[in-house]
Amino acid sequence: MNPQAYRHIFFDLDGTVTRSRSLITPEMTEALHALLASGRDVIIVSGAAVTQSLSQTDNLPLLYLGQNGNHAYDGARKTDIWREFLTETEKNAIFDHIASIPRTWEVTDERDLIEDRGSQISYSLLGHHEDVSKKEKFDPKGDMRKRILSKHPLDSDTIQVVIGGTTCFDYIRRGRHKGYNVSRLIEENRWNKDACVYVGDALFKGGNDETVIGVIDTKQVASPVETLAFVNEILGR
């Protein structure tokens, strides 16, 4: 499709709109504002909590699908669209699985590895607030994390673990992944799927954007620089 025909633009966050846990650049801020000014919808989809996404985008009035979409938030109206929570039984199963994963690498802060985000638990192998450059070099294609899950699979009927961000395992309710929640938001707003596109840096087998493939059109990018170039194509400039 001609990029200018897209009306509802979904973006992954880390590695797509910003670097890992980093503030949005002025250039990207201007581009997203331009999309809004053109009458388009802009949606940030991330494994991160909505509060983290808001801090990285400097509270832009966008739609946010946090925790792989299990917390949907309207940044313009400052209200939840939906929000789901894991049960204590589900959380305990997740903590047991995390404890079963052997660690052969050093971490800076043991207290920075696990985040309970309510709808999701995220386990960073290095630390959520570790140096960005170090995180980006740790497991850039997710191969290490794939091997870990192959050797230490999660045995659960209700929970699944997916590769997230640059160093994370994201634990979510089974089937409630990015693809499911992108489709859910589209249906709730009665948008035409043909007018939607998802932009992400991990649209490949095992990547944290993989579940969106086949739901709507997708655009693979390697960095925020490539994302910015695609936004300019959408805007026709």
Mean pLDDT of the chain: 96
Q: Point out the least confidently predicted range of 40-49, 54-63, 176-185, 202-211.
A: 202-211
Per-residue model confidence (pLDDT) at position 147: 96
Q: For residue 189, is pLDDT > 90?
A: yes
**Mean pLDDT score, 156-165:** 94
Q: Where are the alpha helices (DSSP H) in 9-139?
A: 26-37, 50-56, 88-100, 132-138
pLDDT digits (tens, 9 = 90+) for 96-155: 999 999 999 999 999 999 999 999 999 999 999 999 999 999 999 899 999 999 999 999
Give me the domains of the chain, ranges plus CATH numbers.
3-83+176-235 (3.40.50.1000), 88-173 (3.30.1240.20)
Q: For residue 206, is pLDDT > 90?
A: no
Per-residue model confidence (pLDDT) at position 45: 98
**Mean pLDDT score, 153-168:** 94
**Mean pLDDT score, 165-183:** 96
How big is the CA angle at 131 (ends 135 and 142), to the nearest 5 degrees?
5
pTM: 0.89
In eight-state DSSP terms, residue 25 is P
In whole angstroms, give the CA distance from residue 123 to residue 24.
24
The tokens describing 169, both together, are 């395992």
Q: Can you state the percent helix, strand and coil of the chain, rounding each to 5?
A: 35, 25, 40
φ and ψ at residue 91, rounded to 5 degrees: -65, -40
pLDDT digits (tens, 9 = 90+) for 127-136: 999 999 999 9
